[in-house]
């Protein structure tokens, strides 16, 4: 497992959280219901990377952590194991904190979410402006939704989101480098109480700051 995660990839992992609805509904119906009704959420995730090498799938050791978000553009995506890394956004600015290096990288959100997978979770309700959404059938006891970015310059080719009983349980992100990021979610809570200052980033003492 590589210690560092690119900002795009780390943000992208979160996008699979955006799905819910009636258990009998299709994945697309569940997804749209969730986006319109869920303004915030929190839970836990585990993540694995799968890369095909010489025709054989190589699976990384898992990483895990917690997430919180409040749309649009506010989130805390916290890797806990095996290495600590924090991604946090307050709606205007993105902060990526590497605890081992005591280093913070900052970047304006602006249109950065755009057609990235992160926009599904952290962006507005107008998802079909940037993504083509389609049913992807049933697999592993879940209904699957496929989201394909309309933009041609994105890192990810497509994102598949698995739903069961109106709750997101899995996500697969396939990038243009032949790697698939697989996530599983648990303890998903919709619309938890959050204070206005909850997503305000507090700069760690003595941290080096890099502005992008």
Pick the CATH number of 7-193 from 1.40.20.10, 3.40.50.300, 3.90.180.10, 2.50.20.10: 2.50.20.10
Q: pLDDT tens digits, residue range 45-70?
A: 999 999 988 888 898 999 999 999 88
Angle at alpha carbon of residue 72, lines to 106 and 93, rounded to 5°: 15
Give the helix/strand (H/E) hosting 210: strand 208-211
In the numeric block, which tokens belong to residue 1? 């497992």
Confidence band for 14, pLDDT divided at 50, 70 and 90: very low
Give the helix/strand (H/E) hosting 174: strand 167-175
Q: pLDDT tens digits, residue range 121-165?
A: 676 667 777 789 899 999 999 999 998 888 877 778 888 989 887
CA distance 14 to 3: 18
CA distance 37 to 173: 24
- Is pLDDT above 90 for 100? yes
User: Which has the closest alpha carbon to 58: 48, 67, 73?
Assistant: 48
Confidence band for 108, pLDDT divided at 50, 70 and 90: confident
Confidence band for 192, pLDDT divided at 50, 70 and 90: very high
Q: What percent of the chain has pLDDT over 70?
A: 81
CA-to-CA dists, residue 30 to 4, 8, 100, 170, 199, angstroms: 33, 25, 40, 14, 27
Question: What SS3 class is residue 191?
Answer: coil
């Amino acid at each position: 497992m590589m210690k560092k995660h690119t900002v795009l990839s780390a943000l992208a992992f979160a996008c699979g959280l955006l799905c819910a609805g009636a258990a009998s509904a299709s994945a697309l119906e569940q997804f749209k219901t969730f986006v319109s009704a869920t303004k915030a959420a929190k839970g836990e995730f585990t993540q694995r990377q799968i890369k095909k090498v010489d025709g054989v799938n190589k699976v990384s050791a898992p990483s895990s952590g917690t997430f919180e978000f409040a749309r649009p553009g506010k989130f805390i995506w916290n890797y806990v194991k095996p290495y600590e890394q924090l991604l946090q956004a307050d709606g205007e600015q993105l902060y990526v904190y590497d605890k081992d290096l005591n280093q913070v990288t900052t970047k304006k959100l602006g249109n950065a979410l755009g057609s990235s997978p992160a926009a599904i979770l952290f962006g507005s309700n107008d998802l079909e402006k940037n993504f083509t959404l389609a049913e992807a059938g049933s697999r592993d006891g879940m209904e699957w939704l496929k989201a394909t970015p309309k933009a041609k310059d994105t890192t990810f080719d497509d994102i598949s989101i698995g739903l069961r009983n109106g709750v997101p349980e899995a996500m697969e992100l396939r990038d243009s480098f032949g790697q698939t990021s697989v996530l599983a979610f648990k303890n998903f809570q919709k619309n938890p109480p959050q204070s206005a200052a909850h997503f305000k980033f507090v700069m760690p003492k003595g941290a080096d700051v890099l502005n992008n």
